Amino acid sequence: MTNKRSQEPRKEHTMNFVKETKYGLEKTDAVTNFLNEENAVLITGDINESTTLDVVSNLYYWAKKDPDQLIKVYIINSPGGSVTAATAILDVARLIPNPIRTIGIGLVASAASLLLSSLATEKRLVTENVDLLYHQPLTNGIQGQASDVVIAAERLIECKQNINQLLARVSNLSVDQVEKLLDRDCWVSPKEAMDMGLIDGLLQWTHFNNR
């Protein structure tokens, strides 16, 4: 007797957490279920206006559901992006009563590393081989009348000073040390980031079971 089941071609199981559509990156059911189980928010790819809307909405959702529950913010392979988008997320995170833990995986750079270090009220964790990049705010080029260029340049300097002060508050560094550190692109290892107080430790399996 032939077993029909054994004759069927074996189907490989694949799980895509994020898929690309014509509208950008979209979370699949698998990652949505994971985020729901973990009481978590996901930041991946460029940090822009769309990211801000998604993250802010999720933060408010979890806060309304349970204001005492820990919220985990996973920052996965993000090259950064808009500083104003990042600070908007930070402002809302400070408004809600929930404790927040940030978790960095893969590339965490620019505005993403700013959020990793400053968003958490609990622990800031990263994986062993995370790539961390901190730097001063960038501009794509200032154009216009001379007076407008001066105004834009002054705004950029003010933004840089705000970031320096923010990172100094959440680290072991002084404002002057942060300014010197961010004068050029600053790639740091997890150990270097821990020594400077920019993160708190490495992600462990027990953190997934800690609700």
User: Which residues are the active-site residues?
Assistant: 110, 135
Q: Is 152 exposed, middle or buried (0-12, 13-18, 19+ CB in 10 A)?
A: middle
Q: Which residue has the tokens 């050029």?
A: 184
Strand runs (DSSP E) across 11-134, as ranges? 18-21, 24-27, 40-47, 71-81, 100-109, 124-126, 131-134
Q: Which of 45, 36, 206, 193 is nearest to 130 (CA)?
A: 193
Element (H, E) at 51: helix 49-65
Strand partners for 96: none
